[in-house]
A and B are shown apart, each in its own frame.
Chain A
Amino acid sequence: MGGNSDMKLIDENGIRIDGRKVDELRPIKIEAGVLKSADGSAYVEIGKNKVLAAVYGPRECHPRHMQNPAKAIVQCKYNMISFSVSDRKRPGPDRRSVEISKLISEAMEHVVFTENYPRTSIDVYIEVLQANAGTRCAGLTAAAVALADAGIPMRDMVPAVAVGKVNDQVVLDLNKEEDNFGQADLPIAMIPRTGEILLLQMDGHLTQAEFDRAMELGVKACGEIYELQKDALRRRYAITNSGEVEDETKDEPREMNEEA
Chain B
Amino acid sequence: MARSIVSEIKRDHIQKLIAGGQRVDGRNWDQFREISIQTHVVETAEGSSRVKIGNTEVIVGVKMTVGEPFSDTPNRGVLSTNAELIPMASPNFESGPPDENSIELARVVDRGIRESHMIDLDKLCIEPGKKVWINFVDIYVLDFDGNLFDACSLGAVAAIKSAIVPAAANGLGEDYPMPINCTPVSVTAVKIENSILIDPTLDEEKVAAARLTVTTDDNGDLRAMQKGLSGALTLEEVKNVIETSRRLGVEIRKLIG
Direct contact between the two chains A and B in their complex (CB within 8 A):
yes
Stretch at the interface among A121-129, A192-200, A251-259: A121-129
Q: Mark each residue of chain A from 42 to 60: 1 if its CB lies under 8 Å from any CB of chain B, else 0.
A: 0000001010111010010
Q: Do A82 and B87 contact each other (CB < 8 Å), given the known contacts A36-B143, A129-B59? A: no
Which residues of chain A are near B95, meaning CB under 8 Å?
A: 77
Tell me the bound Cα distance from A83 to B137 in angstroms.
Answer: 9
Are A36 and B87 in contact, CB atoms less than 8 angstroms apart? no
Partner of A82, one of B63, B89, B91: B63
Tell me the bound Cα distance from A91 to B63 in angstroms.
Answer: 13
Tell me the bound Cα distance from A129 to B41 in angstroms.
Answer: 9
Whether B61 sits at the interface, judged by CB under 8 Å, is yes
Q: How far is the CB of B95 from chain A (nearest CB, A)?
A: 6
Whether B22 sits at the interface, judged by CB under 8 Å, is no
Q: Mark each residue of chain B from 37 to 71: 1 if its CB lies under 8 Å from any CB of chain A, else 0.
A: 00001111100100000010101011101000000
Nearest B residue to A124 via CB reads B88
Q: How far is the CB of A41 from chain B (nearest CB, A)?
A: 8
Whether A130 sits at the interface, judged by CB under 8 Å, is yes
Q: Do A35 and B143 contact each other (CB < 8 Å), given the known contacts A59-B91, A81-B138, A82-B63? A: yes
Are A82 and B61 in contact, CB atoms less than 8 angstroms apart? yes
Q: Do A36 and B140 contact each other (CB < 8 Å), given the known contacts A84-B42, A129-B42? A: no
Whether A86 sits at the interface, judged by CB under 8 Å, is yes
Are A125 and B87 in contact, CB atoms less than 8 angstroms apart? yes
Are B91 and A56 in contact, CB atoms less than 8 angstroms apart? yes
Q: How far is the CB of A63 from chain B (nearest CB, A)?
A: 11
Instruction: Kindly identify, within residues 83 to 132 of chain B, every residue whose CB is under 8 Å from any CB belonging to chain A.
Output: 84, 86-91, 95, 97
Tell me the bound Cα distance from A69 to B143 in angstroms.
Answer: 31
Q: How far is the CB of A100 from chain B (nearest CB, A)?
A: 15
Q: Do A82 and B143 contact each other (CB < 8 Å), given the known contacts A77-B95, A129-B42? A: no
Partner of A123, one of B44, B87, B140, B142: B87
Whether A92 sits at the interface, judged by CB under 8 Å, is yes
Q: Mark each residue of chain A from 27 to 40: 1 if its CB lies under 8 Å from any CB of chain B, else 0.
A: 00000000111100
Which residues of chain B are near A79, meaning CB under 8 Å?
A: 86
Q: Do A88 and B87 contact each other (CB < 8 Å), given the known contacts A37-B145, A81-B61? A: no
Are A83 and B55 in contact, CB atoms less than 8 angstroms apart? no
Whether A7 sits at the interface, judged by CB under 8 Å, is no
Q: Do A52 and B43 contact each other (CB < 8 Å), given the known contacts A83-B61, A88-B65? A: no
Whether A131 sits at the interface, judged by CB under 8 Å, is yes
Tell me the bound Cα distance from A97 to B164 in angstroms.
Answer: 29
Which residues of chain A are near B82, meaning CB under 8 Å?
A: 82, 91
Q: Do A83 and B88 contact each other (CB < 8 Å), given the known contacts A35-B57, A35-B143, A88-B136? A: no
Are A86 and B91 in contact, CB atoms less than 8 angstroms apart? no
Whether B144 sits at the interface, judged by CB under 8 Å, is yes
Q: Do A125 and B43 contact each other (CB < 8 Å), given the known contacts A37-B55, A83-B63? A: no
Nearest B residue to A93 via CB reads B95
Partner of A52, one of B55, B91, B142, B145: B142
Are A91 and B88 in contact, CB atoms less than 8 angstroms apart? no
Whether A85 sits at the interface, judged by CB under 8 Å, is yes
Q: Do A83 and B42 contact each other (CB < 8 Å), given the known contacts A35-B57, A77-B95? A: yes
Tell me the bound Cα distance from A87 to B45 in angstroms.
Answer: 9
Nearest B residue to A131 via CB reads B44
Are A127 and B44 in contact, CB atoms less than 8 angstroms apart? no
Tell me the bound Cα distance from A84 to B63 in angstroms.
Answer: 10
Residues in chain A within 8 A of chain B (CB atoms): 35-38, 41, 48, 50, 52-54, 56, 59, 77, 79, 81-88, 91-92, 123, 125, 127, 129-131
Residues in chain B within 8 A of chain A (CB atoms): 41-45, 48, 55, 57, 59, 61-63, 65, 82, 84, 86-91, 95, 97, 136, 138, 140, 142-145
- 7 cross-chain CB contacts under 8 A: A37-B55, A37-B144, A48-B43, A56-B91, A83-B44, A86-B44, A127-B140
